Amino acid sequence: MDSDREMDPAHRTPEGVDEKTVRALGALSKALETTERARGHLYGFHQLTGTADFELGDAARLLREAGHEEQARRVEREIVGRNVIPGHWTFQIVEAYNSTYYRPFAAVEHDVVEEVAGGRDHLLEARLKTIRRTTGHPDHTATPPTT
């Protein structure tokens, strides 16, 4: 690249894509990123709930070993393996979220970027990187070093 102010060629705004479109694509990308975070929390919920269920099994075993058979049976009967919402364990909630919301959202975002910007992602962020880089600084280059 000739100049520190040049943009990474893979992220240059395609001919005919205006500023409003770049901002709209940035908003779309940010919305998908927020959904990615929500999905991560959903997986955290799934894993934490599963861990709690196994811990309940340990608690029931310990209650039984301590001579509290009735209480151990109640924990096992009422809580261990229980649905978190009617008919659903957490893995089913994750599956429904992925198929009903996440995958369609990701597909629409991908299609819009393809149709409007020739598949070039993160145009807004690339523009910001170009603006915010320090000229001549080795840690502010447009692209990774070539080997």
pLDDT digits (tens, 9 = 90+) for 69-109: 999 999 999 999 999 999 999 999 999 999 999 999 999 99
If we measure between CA atoms, which residue out of 25, 36, 20, 21 comes closest to residue 122? 25
Q: What is the dihedral of CA 17, 23, 28, 30, to 10 degrees?
A: 140
Query: What is the CB neighbour count within 10 angstroms for residue 76?
Result: 17
pLDDT digits (tens, 9 = 90+) for 99-141: 999 999 999 999 999 999 999 999 999 888 888 988 889 888 8
Q: What is the DSSP letter of 1?
A: -
DSSP-derived secondary structure for 4-33: TTPPPGGGSPPTT--HHHHHHHHHHHHHHH
Phi then psi for residue 85, to 5 deg, are: -135, 160
pLDDT digits (tens, 9 = 90+) for 35-80: 999 999 999 999 999 999 999 999 999 999 999 999 999 999 999 9
Element (H, E) at 135: none
- Measure the CA–CA gap between 3 and 133, rounded to whole angstroms: 12
